[in-house]
Amino acid sequence: MTQTLNARRSANGAMSTSASASVSSSRRLLAGAVVAGPLFLGAGVVQGLAREGFGFTRNAISQLALGDMGWIQTVNFVLTGTLLLIGAVGLRRVLRHEPGGTWGPILIGVFGASFLVAAAFEADAGAGFPVGSPTSVTMSAHGAGHMFGGGIGYLALCAAFLVLARPLAARGLRGWALASRVAPVVVLTGFMASAASVLVFTLGAGLGLCWLAAVAARLLTGGPRH
């Protein structure tokens, strides 16, 4: 009898340890979505301040992938995309059996993949960057691919915010859920204003990255519900 009880306790302990390890692994993966946005923006700001001829009121961060030092921004795209894809896997595990647990991670995965597309298809030169480039240029095939990938990615991000409002609300985080429903409006407004102001476009896109990091961090600290 004693051996049976000990065996059951050992089995329960092993199951508890396994479940704890699974939750810990999921959270580590989700941390990729927390880090990705701040890393991308931080690297972009540092490069923008350091690169000759670059101006945040004239040029998009994507253009930093051009020129002799452009490889740094290309690596930034690849690293950010990879972290977002890892974060999407973690989000799927954390939100398993919760509202938004399927489409939220899929949409974040699409957003992550768009950064890999951006790395593969460079933005066009223009607005004087790199130094010596004309003020305006005709859009090239790779420039169109860059814009198309980015557009699909940010549309997916906006949809993800709407989807992720559900698990936030289910956890009682109604303020977070409301903000997650408003964030797409701000991001899309920035995109629509891109023709008139590159800076507004950058701020809108940056806000999307920052809000994703905030939501992922909130879900990370809240942990999965059972």
Q: What is the pLDDT of residues 46-55, one digit of tens each?
A: 999 999 999 9
CA distances from 217 to 41, 47, 59, 190, 223 (A): 17, 26, 30, 24, 10
Furthest C-alpha separation in the chain: 85
CA 212 to CA 160: how far, in whole Å? 9
pLDDT tens per residue, range 139-175:
889 989 999 999 999 999 999 999 999 999 999 999 9
What does the pLDDT read at residue 27?
Answer: 83
Rounded Cα distance between 209 and 22, Å, is: 27
For the chain, give the number of residues.
226
Report in angstroms the alpha-carbon separations of 207 from 93, 127, 189: 25, 23, 11
Q: Which residues in 125-143 are b (16+ Cβ under 10 Å) and which e?
A: bbbebbeebeeeeeeeeeb
Q: What is the pLDDT of residues 124-137, one digit of tens each?
A: 898 889 988 877 77
* Segment 73-110, tens digit of pLDDT: 999 999 999 999 999 999 999 988 888 889 999 999 99
